[in-house]
Amino acid sequence: MEIKSGLFQKYNADKEEEAHQKKLRERYNVSNEEVKVVEKPMAWKFVVKLIGQIFRLLANIILLLLALIGIVALLYPESREVLWSFLMTSIGQTQLDISQVSSLLP
């Protein structure tokens, strides 16, 4: 029974490899079926993908936190007032900072 399951696994692996080769041939526009396309891993591609995944994760966490703050603000009037005063203070401070920076520019 082991021999048959081993052959079956080999058959499945070959089918998966052929499907992967078909996708690679389409991606790189290789029409010859006898050509085996080999994609070599590149460190910079890995780093770029990793940084992209980290940014996506951070963006999702920030969106989740903002949604949570919004729900809390809707449920509790005291927190709504605190958030509103914080927002107004932040807007005022931002306007003050912009006017100071614009006065420094020629």
95: in domain: no
Task: Report whether 21 contacts 36 (CB < 8 A).
Answer: yes
Spacing of C-alpha 86 from chain mean position? 30
Global pTM value: 0.49
Q: Give the pLDDT score at 10.
A: 87
Mean per-residue pLDDT, 63-92:
92
Map tokens 């949570």 to a residue: 68
Secondary structure in 3-state letters for 43-83: HHHHHHHHHHHHHHHHHHHHHHHHHHHHHHHHHCHHHHHHH
Domains in the chain: how many in total? 1
Query: In which domain, by residue range, is 28 found?
Result: 1-39
* pLDDT tens readout for residues 5-36: 778 888 888 899 889 888 888 888 888 888 88
45: in domain: no
Secondary structure in 3-state letters for 23-39: HHHHHCCCCCCCCCCCC
Q: Give the pLDDT score at 3.
A: 59
